[in-house]
Chains A and B, each alone.
Chain A
């Protein structure tokens, strides 16, 4: 569970992990019901709708100005987004 929390960058406290762990375990047990289905003769469905080959031509479309792009950012510096270092 702690691993999952880390993978998902959720920053959970040990208490939270414990409580969530129980709930997740219950849910996983419930979805374990899937094991009973007979899926031997079917392919997975990644998308409904049956669409294929949806593409766009290689053309330029006006985007956002730098101000618009950064408008919602909490920390920026000289037009760049600022984040703590990777460690």
Chain B
């Protein structure tokens, strides 16, 4: 249909999970604090205050860059990006311009099961701005209210090469990037609360052309879904304009979730004149190869390698491995369950289908919930050994999740265990057959439903504990047709 190729590059900002801010000792985790209660002369931009670099923020950024296969130059520095905005107390942002912490890497991600690769231009470090609250939509309010609690939080900027060629690649890229950041422990991946943000650069060009078309920056996309929708809309909008022979304005547009369109944001005095220059208050950094190798050695197993390993080592399906590898803590939990003796595929199913559902409903993570890995392992082993029925186990798990009691103990204490001893069941079967000659005869005469009644009887007599499979099997054996 389209004679145009779309070219998309994503720019991701990720707040770092450090204790303190980028250039001062205020808290980096600012959510929920009373307004303007998390500041100091430095992040407030008071005259005379000076920044000092947070060492851990540097390490987290290098770690991220390594995980994204980037080069780490030996010399790096900070620069001032000058512009006026009420959420920017100093009137400039300390960022990195021409000598960033890292350059030139790539990210692998899956789109509909197919592995793809996109380039990473650079990963650099800067500070976050404060937050603005407006009465209503940004265009309509008469004044803004500024909260500087967030000003100065360490922000890592990950610039992707314009290698994406379809809107649906964007959420996949972002998902893989987000997962990597969570794995590294450098970011919590929370897009709703804004600790992970994504902007996109979109342009179109005739298929086969080399030159890039006019670039439009799209902002204000707050979820994976809105990213895809916004890009689809934008590609549609640009296609229409090009088809009509109209030029594409190189501008910034904001996605409106409400109207499901991108809207031109008043360009701030044409091209932004940031007047970058080296930050005089911060000496540059020499990043030794030693530090780099040290950090490289400390990298955790990353998502794709972990997924592959879960598949090969535990015989999990791709889907199971993908789900469990979504969060390293989920995978760790799973591996602990297996280490405690549970059969891998069953353990995977139980964690994914039962425990995770309980966790989701209660808004807790698997490793935080009241069912430790060893407890789940015990339960799973009991199910595998037919010592408890699946449905009973599920209920017990639910209760244990809520109370913190041991599932296995609950089963034992309340005698919820399944009766799987063939001999005992055989006795019950014989008892039932003795008292239900008619039903037995009906079944043997061809009435299948009659078996159900007999099964029910046996179940009742066993206090619903008998393993229904075995009951069935024994009945059929005694009533050949």
Contact = CB atoms under 8 A, between A and B. Distances in A.
Q: Do chains A and B touch in the complex (CB under 8 A)?
A: yes
B25 A61 contact: yes
A57 B141 CA distance: 41
B138 A86 contact: yes
Interface string A42-79: 00001101011111111111111110011000000111
Given A58-B19, A58-B20, A66-B36, A51 B141 contact: no
Contacts of A87: 266
A82 B135 CA distance: 12
Interface in B22-48: 24-27, 34-41, 43-44
A32 B275 CA distance: 20
B145 A52 contact: no
Given A60-B19, A65-B37, A66-B36, A54 B52 contact: yes
Interface string B118-144: 000000000000000110001001111
Contact of A58 (B55, B86, B280): B55
A55 B58 contact: yes
A34 B271 CA distance: 28
Contacts of A9: 84
Contacts of A62: 25
A46 B344 CA distance: 59
Contacts of B40: 61, 63-64
Chain A contact residues: helix, strand, loop or mixed: loop
Contacts of A6: 269
A53 B285 contact: yes
A25 B257 CA distance: 49
A60 B147 contact: no
Contact of B134 (A56, A60, A61, A85): A85
B340 interface: no
B54 A81 contact: no
A57 to B, nearest CB: 6
A14 to B, nearest CB: 19
Contacts of A65: 37
B55 A49 contact: no
A80 interface: yes
A9 B141 CA distance: 22
A58 B54 contact: yes
A50 to B, nearest CB: 8
A36 interface: no
A60 B141 CA distance: 36
B25, B85, B280: which has the most chain A beta carbons within 10 Å? B25
A80 B86 contact: no
B36 A80 contact: yes
Interface residues of A, number: 35
A9 to B, nearest CB: 6
Dominant SS among interface residues on chain B: loop
Contact of B26 (A52, A53, A63): A63
B283 interface: yes
B53 interface: yes
Nearest to A54: B283
A7 interface: yes
B65 interface: no
B54 A56 contact: yes
A63 B53 contact: no
Given A56-B55, A60-B19, A60-B20, A85 B142 contact: yes
B312 to A, nearest CB: 37
A47 to B, nearest CB: 6
Nearest to B268: A86
Contact of A53 (B34, B141, B266, B286): B286
Nearest to A72: B46
A64 B41 contact: yes
Contact of A69 (B39, B52, B275): B39
Nearest to A80: B145
Contacts of B41: 64
Given A9-B84, A60-B25, A52 B284 contact: yes
B185 interface: no
Contacts of B56: 57-58
Contact of B35 (A56, A60, A66): A66
Nearest to A45: B278
Interface of A: 6-7, 9, 46-47, 49, 51-66, 69-70, 77-87
30 contacts: A47-B278, A52-B284, A52-B285, A52-B286, A53-B283, A54-B53, A54-B282, A55-B53, A55-B285, A56-B53, A56-B55, A58-B18, A58-B19, A58-B56, A58-B57, A60-B19, A61-B20, A61-B24, A61-B25, A63-B40, A64-B44, A69-B36, A70-B36, A80-B35, A80-B145, A80-B146, A82-B144, A83-B144, A85-B143, A86-B86
Given A51-B283, A61-B26, A63-B38, 9 more contacts: A47-B280, A47-B283, A55-B53, A59-B19, A60-B20, A63-B26, A81-B145, A82-B144, A83-B86
Top 9 closest pairs, chain A to chain B, by CB: A61-B25, A63-B40, A58-B56, A80-B145, A51-B283, A46-B278, A81-B146, A55-B55, A66-B37
